[in-house]
Amino acid sequence: MKKFLNEFKEFAMKGNMIDMSIGVVIGAAFGKIVTGLTDCIITPLIALIIHALFHADNTDQLFSSIVVGPFPIGQLISTIIDFLITAIVLFIIVKAINQLQTMGHKDTEEAAPTVKVCPYCKSEIAIDAVKCPHCTSDVE
Ligand SMILES: [Zn+2]
């Protein structure tokens, strides 16, 4: 179970899953905007045109219905605000995850050994040294 969790963590942290889920969320949010646009502009427009064609008795009535409008713009604005909030929250999450990932990289870099101990004089020397600078012994 622990191994499974570690594998899942690795998969999730690689960014593939993060990218994928962000795509899904943004796609859904954007779909809402498209739906909102249709609901708020296109559907009322078609209704208005049909109404104008078949029911408007005169042009005055037609203009007044256009000015007052059946367009629920507030609904569209709230949909766009929803989208923006979703995008901002996602951005913050991605930033946090990226920060965690770079922190993780730094940790592994620091954990990698850069020095070794000379077997003859026990002083710390560079990991790729072939000769100890302290006692001049040959080190492998
Ligand atoms: Zn030495």
Q: What are the residue ranges spanned by the domains of the chain?
A: 2-112
Q: Residue 122 C-alpha to ligand 1 middle, in angstroms?
A: 6
* pLDDT of 68 higher than 60: no
pLDDT at position 122, please? 93
Return the amino acid letter for 45. L
Q: Residue 114 C-alpha to ligand 1 middle, in angstroms?
A: 16
Q: Which of the pair, 66 or 93, is modelled with greater confidence?
A: 93
pLDDT at position 118, please? 93
pLDDT at position 119, please? 92
Per residue in 95-139, pLDDT (tens digit) is: 888 788 777 666 655 667 788 999 999 999 998 999 999 999 998
Rounded to whole angstroms, the Cα distance separating 58 from 119 reads: 103
Highest mean pLDDT: which range of 34-48, 71-85, 113-127: 113-127
Return the amino acid letter for 109. E
Q: Residue 112 C-alpha to ligand 1 middle, in angstroms?
A: 22
Q: Residue 139 C-alpha to ligand 1 middle, in angstroms?
A: 8
**Could you count the other beta carbons within 10 Å of the beta carbon of residue 40?**
19
Average pLDDT, the chain: 79
* pLDDT of 3 higher than 80: yes
Characterize the bridge pairing of strands 124-126 and 115-117.
antiparallel
44-64: average pLDDT? 70
* pLDDT of 55 higher than 70: no
Q: Residue 113 C-alpha to ligand 1 middle, in angstroms?
A: 18
Residue 120 in tokens: 């003859």
> What are the Cα distances from residue 131, in Å, to 8, 82, 107, 110, 127?
44, 65, 29, 24, 11
Q: Residue 129 C-alpha to ligand 1 middle, in angstroms?
A: 10
| This model's pTM is above 0.85 | no
Return the amino acid letter for 32. K
Q: Residue 6 C-alpha to ligand 1 middle, in angstroms?
A: 41
Contacting residues for 39 by C-beta, under 8 A, at least 6 apart: 72, 75, 76
Q: What's the residue count for the chain?
A: 140
Q: Residue 89 C-alpha to ligand 1 middle, in angstroms?
A: 56
45-67: average pLDDT? 68
Contacting residues for 100 by C-beta, under 8 A, at least 6 apart: 13
